[in-house]
Amino acid sequence: MLYIVLIPLLLSCIIPFISKIKHKLHTGLFVFLIPTVIFIYFIRFVGTEFEPVRQSYNWIPSLGINFDFYLDGLSLLFALLISGIGALVVLYSIYYLDKGERLGHFYVYLLMFMSAMLGVVLSDNIFVLYTFWELTSISSFLLIGYWHFKEKSRYGALKSMLITIFGGLSMFGGFILLSVMTGTTSIQVMIQNAEVIMNSPYMPLALGFMLIGAFTKSAQFPFHIWLPDAMEAPTPVSAYLHSATMVKAGLFLVARFSPIFADYEWFFIIVSVAGIVTLCWGSYMAVHQTDLKAILAFSTISQLGMIMAMLGFGTEAAAFAAVFHILCHATFKGSLFMVAGIVDHETGTRDIRKLGGLMTFMPMSAALALFGTFSMAGIPLPFLNGFYSKEMFFQSTLDLPAGANVVATFLVDIIPYLAVFGSIFTFVYSLYFLFGTFAGKKQVDQLPKHPHEAPIGMLLSPFILVLGVILIGLFPNAFNGTFIAHAAEAVAGSAVVENIKFWHGLSPAFQMSLAVVAIGTILVSTRRKWSKVYTFVPGGRSINNIYDAIISKLDSWSRRITTFYMTGSLRLYMAIILSTIMLVTLSFMLVTDGFTINSNDLAPVRLTEIAVVLVIIAAAIGTIFARQNLAAILIVGVVGYGVSLLFVIYRAPDLALTQLVVETVSVALFLLCFYHLPNLRNKKDSTGTRLTNGIVSIGFGTLMTLIGISAHSSDWFGTISDYFLKTSHSLGGGDNVVNVILVDMRGLDTLFEITVLGIAALAIYSLIKIKIKKGTK
C-alpha cells in the first residue's frame, strides 16, 4: 500500500520531462493512467466480505513513527473517491487546459495532492497522517495559485494556506496530546483504548484542537471563508480538491475519531452545531452569489456542514447517512463543477447575471446540470441519490437521542427545523443555478464568446459522474452492502444494518422533504422580491472583513511594534540591552537572595591607595564633563595610569608594565585621531535622555559593585594558584609565575591573543589603505 500511496508522488518527478513533448501529446494522457491504476487496485477490495487490511513499513521506529497503513471501509470509500474522481478530473483537464499552459506544473501539483490525500485516508499513524495532511494544504496552495499572475489567485492561495495550516498545527497539538495520553501513535490502538482517552483530563483539550483542524480543513463556519476564494483555481482543481476530496479530509478526521468521542456530550454539541450552522449559513449565502463557482463553493460549504452535523449526531443511522452523503456529494458536486467549467470555457464568463438561455446551445451540459442540481436539491425522484441522503438526514435529525444536559436537549428540539431551513435554501440555490444558467432570457450578444456545445471529451467526465448519481439512485442497496455499510461500521464502531428505500410511506421525513420542495418553489419564483434581505443579513458585515481586518491589523501592529524599537539608533539598542541585563541580573539576585556582605577577609585600607582611587574616580567622572577632545583624551590617560599605579600597589609588576605601555600607545593613538574627529561640543541630549542614561549607567555600576562584593564575600573553594606557584620552577623552568602561566601553562590563550593583535593590525592597515571611490560601491 505504501507504493500505491507514493506512486503519484514518485511519478510526478518525471512529469516535467514528459511535459516537454507537449507539442505532440497532452501530458494529461500519461497522468490519466496513474489514478486509473490506483482505482483498479482499490476496486478489488470492494465486496460484501470485506476485512480491514493492515500494512506497516518502518520509517522512524525509535519515535514510533512508521508508515502504518490501515484500509477499512471508510478509507476504502475515500480512496476510491480520490482515485476515481482523480482520474475523471485528469480526463476533464486534458480538454480544459490548453497545451500552452504550464502543464508540467499543474500535473506535478495534482499528483502531489493525490499522494497526500491517499496518505491522509490510509494512514493509521497520527504523525504520518499529519505529514500527509500538511502536504495536502501545500499542494492545494500551489494549485489555487496556479495562475499566479492573477492578484486574486494569490490572495485566495494565501488565505487558504493561512487558515488550513492554522488548523493543521492545531490538529498536530491534539495528536500530540492523544499520543501522550495513550502512549501509542496508532489510531486503531487509540480506538481500542478509548476509555483511557475519555478518562484523561486532557481529553477536552485534545478534542478541541483536533476539531479546529477538522473544521478549518472542511470549511466549517466560521473558517469557511477560504473556500469561495479558492475558486480562483482552475476548474478541475475546484472540482477535485474543493468539492470531492480535500474538503472532506476534515470530515474524514471527525469520522475516524468519532468511535473514541461519540459518547462525549460536548462532541455532539460542538460538531452538530458547527455542522448545522454551516449548513444554514452556506446555503443561505449561496443564493446571494453571482459567480457560478461561488454558488457551488457555498453549496459545498453547506453540504459539508450537513455531513458534519450527521457525524456529530453519533447515531448509527446518522453515521450511515453521513457516509452515504459523502459518496453522493462527490458525484453530483464534481459533475456540477465540471459543468460550470464548461460554461465558463464555452461562453467566457461565469457571471450568472450575464448567462441565461443556454439550453438551446448546450443541451448536453444542460441535461448534466439538471441531474446534478436536482440531486443536490433533494427532489424526490427514484433515480437521484441526493434525495435518499437528504431523507436519511431528516430522519436522523428526528431520531436524535434525548440530550443529557440543557444545551443538548435544546439542540435536539431545534435541529430538525434548522435542517429544513438549510434544505430549503439548498433547493433554492440549486434551481437558481440551473435556471439562471440554462433557462430564461437569452443574452447571447453580451457574452464574450459565442456559446456552443463542449467537445465530447470534456463532457465525458461529468457524464460518468452523473451516471454515478443515477446508478446510486436506482440501485442504492448495491452500494450499501458492498462498501457504505463497511464505512459506516468504521465510523459508528459497530456493524450498521440499514436498508435504503425510496418509499417509506408518508413518514415525517418525507413530509419535511415535501415542505422543502413546496416552500423552495415559492422562494425560487419570488427570488427577486426577497433578495433585499441580504442587505440586512449579512449586509456589510462578513467574516471575510474580519479576516482581512485581522491580517491587516497584524501586519500594521507588528510593523508598528518593530519600528517602535528598531529605530536604527545604536544608542537605543545599547540602552535596551544594558537595562535588560541589569533587570534580569537584579531580579535573579533578589529572587535567589544572592546579595551578601562579609567583611571577614579583607585587606587593610591604606591612605595612599585611597588617594589613587579618588584620583581615578575623579578622572572617570571627568570624562563625562570634558568638552574638548584633548581634555577627554588626557583624562582617560589619567585613568589608565592610575590603574597601572594600582597594579604596582597590588604586586602585579607585569601588569603595571604592560598597562603603562598600552596606555601610552593608546593615548598616542587617540591623539592621532584627534585632528580628524570633530570636537565634542554642542552634542547635548535632552534632559530626559540624559536622565535615563544616568539611571542606566549608575544602576549598572551599582549592580556590578554589589555582585563583586557578594562574590568576594562568599568563599566557595580555594584557589588553584598554589599549583602554579609550586610547579612554576620545577615544571615550567621559570621564576616569574605570571609569565610561565602565559607561555607555558596556558599558552594557548597567548597564541590567540597574538592572533587578535595580528588581525587588528591587518584590519587597521586595510581600513587606512583601501579607498572605495564614491559611486563605485
Q: Within 45-193, where are the H helices?
A: 73-96, 103-122, 126-144, 151-182, 187-192
Listed ranges 2-10, 233-241, 549-557, 653-661: which one lies at the site for other proteins (CB under 8 A): 653-661
Q: Is residue 99 helix, strand or coil?
A: coil
By CB under 8 A, residue 580 contacts other proteins: no
- In this structure, the strands spanning 53-60 and 65-71 are antiparallel
By CB under 8 A, residue 650 contacts other proteins: yes
Listed ranges 207-215, 322-330, 532-540, 714-722: which one lies at the site for other proteins (CB under 8 A): 714-722
Between 546 and 751, whose beta carbon lies closer to other proteins?
Answer: 751
Sign for the pseudo-dihedral over CA of 671, 673, 678, 684? negative
Q: What is the smallest separation between the CB atom of 39 and other proteins, expressed in angstroms? A: 53
Picking from 237, 275, 287, 245, the residue whose alpha carbon sits closest to that of residue 83 is 245
Residues 71-90 that bind other proteins (CB under 8 A): none
Q: For residue 54, what is the enclosing H or E element?
A: strand 53-60
Contact 247, 305 (CB under 8 A): no
Residues 393-452 that bind other proteins (CB under 8 A): none
Q: How far apart are CA 512 and CA 409, in angstroms?
A: 21
Q: Kindly report the number of other CB atoms within 10 A of residue 496's CB atom.
A: 22
By CB under 8 A, residue 683 contacts other proteins: yes
Residues 241-260 that bind other proteins (CB under 8 A): none
Q: What is the smallest separation between the CB atom of 766 and other proteins, expressed in angstroms? A: 10
Residues 745-774 that bind other proteins (CB under 8 A): 746, 749-750, 753, 756-757, 759-761, 763-764, 767-768
Between 517 and 671, whose beta carbon lies closer to other proteins?
Answer: 671
Bridge partners, 351 (sequence order)? 291
Picking from 258, 261, 233, 268, the residue whose alpha carbon sits closest to that of residue 247 is 233
Q: What is the smallest separation between the CB atom of 641 and other proteins, expressed in angstroms? A: 11
Q: What is the smallest separation between the CB atom of 719 and other proteins, expressed in angstroms? A: 6
Between 365 and 644, whose beta carbon lies closer to other proteins?
Answer: 644
Q: What is the smallest separation between the CB atom of 151 and other proteins, expressed in angstroms? A: 24
Q: Is the peptide bond before 222 cis (omega within 30 degrees of 0)?
A: yes
Instruction: Classify 388 in phi/psi space as left (phi over 0), alpha (psi -120 to 50) or beta.
Output: alpha
By CB under 8 A, residue 741 contacts other proteins: yes
Between 591 and 768, whose beta carbon lies closer to other proteins?
Answer: 768
Of the CA atoms within 13 Å of residue 449, those in its CB half-sphere come to: 14
Query: For other proteins, which residue of 685, 691, 714, 731 counts as binding (CB under 8 A)?
Result: 685
Contact 472, 328 (CB under 8 A): yes
Sign for the pseudo-dihedral over CA of 108, 114, 116, 119? negative
Between 23 and 684, whose beta carbon lies closer to other proteins?
Answer: 684
Q: What is the smallest separation between the CB atom of 774 and other proteins, expressed in angstroms? A: 9
Picking from 41, 36, 52, the residue whose alpha carbon sits closest to that of residue 487 is 52
Q: What is the smallest separation between the CB atom of 430 and other proteins, expressed in angstroms? A: 54
Q: How far apart are CA 486 and CA 680, in angstroms?
A: 87
Q: What is the smallest separation between the CB atom of 310 and other proteins, expressed in angstroms? A: 55
Place of cell 605601555: 661
Listed ranges 363-371, 387-395, 517-525, 704-712: which one lies at the site for other proteins (CB under 8 A): 704-712
Contact 196, 189 (CB under 8 A): no
Query: For other proteins, which residue of 735, 773, 775, 776 counts as binding (CB under 8 A)?
Result: 735
By CB under 8 A, residue 704 contacts other proteins: yes
For 395, the grid coordinates are 430522519
By CB under 8 A, residue 654 contacts other proteins: yes
Q: What is the smallest separation between the CB atom of 556 and other proteins, expressed in angstroms? A: 18
Query: For other proteins, which residue of 56, 188, 200, 623 counts as binding (CB under 8 A)?
Result: 623
Query: For other proteins, which residue of 602, 607, 716, 733 counts as binding (CB under 8 A)?
Result: 602
By CB under 8 A, residue 728 contacts other proteins: yes
> x/- contact string, 559-578, with other proteins (CB under 8 A)?
--------xxxxx--xx--x
Q: What is the smallest separation between the CB atom of 687 and other proteins, expressed in angstroms? A: 14
By CB under 8 A, residue 698 contacts other proteins: yes
Listed ranges 89-97, 169-177, 411-419, 713-721: which one lies at the site for other proteins (CB under 8 A): 713-721
Q: How far apart are CA 43 and CA 53, in angstroms?
A: 14
Query: For other proteins, which residue of 55, 584, 708, 714 counts as binding (CB under 8 A)?
Result: 708
Task: Output the furthest CA–CA distance in the chain (Å, rounded).
Answer: 115
Could you tell me how far CA 429 lies from the centroid of its own chain?
A: 32
Q: Is residue 595 helix, strand or coil?
A: coil
Between 193 and 692, whose beta carbon lies closer to other proteins?
Answer: 692
Between 100 and 718, whose beta carbon lies closer to other proteins?
Answer: 718
Size of site (CB under 8 A) for other proteins:
94
By CB under 8 A, residue 361 contacts other proteins: no
By CB under 8 A, residue 659 contacts other proteins: yes
Contact 472, 241 (CB under 8 A): no
> x/- contact string, 603-622, with other proteins (CB under 8 A)?
xxxx--xx--x--xx--xx-
Side chain identity at 531, as an amino acid letter?
S
Q: What is the smallest separation between the CB atom of 761 and other proteins, expressed in angstroms? A: 8
Listed ranges 2-10, 139-147, 380-388, 650-658: which one lies at the site for other proteins (CB under 8 A): 650-658
Write the DSSP assignment of 419-438 as a string of letters.
Answer: HHHHHHHHHHHHHHHHHHHH
Q: What is the smallest separation between the CB atom of 776 and other proteins, expressed in angstroms? A: 14
Question: Which letter does DSSP use for residue 681 in this model?
Answer: T
Buried b (16+ CB within 10 A) or exposed e, 320-352: bbbbbbbbbbbbbbbbbbbbbbbbbbbbebbeb
What are the angstrom distances between the C-alpha of 520 and each of 291, 423, 526?
21, 9, 10
Listed ranges 48-56, 226-234, 480-488, 736-744: which one lies at the site for other proteins (CB under 8 A): 736-744
Q: What is the smallest separation between the CB atom of 748 and other proteins, expressed in angstroms? A: 11
By CB under 8 A, residue 276 contacts other proteins: no
Listed ranges 259-267, 405-413, 442-450, 708-716: which one lies at the site for other proteins (CB under 8 A): 708-716
Q: How far apart are CA 483 and CA 500, in angstroms?
A: 14
Residues 94-113 that bind other proteins (CB under 8 A): none
Q: Kindly report the number of other CB atoms within 10 A of residue 15's CB atom.
A: 23
Between 561 and 760, whose beta carbon lies closer to other proteins?
Answer: 760
Buried b (16+ CB within 10 A) or exposed e, 188-222: bebbebbebbeebeebeebbbbbbbbbbbbbbbbe
By CB under 8 A, residue 691 contacts other proteins: no
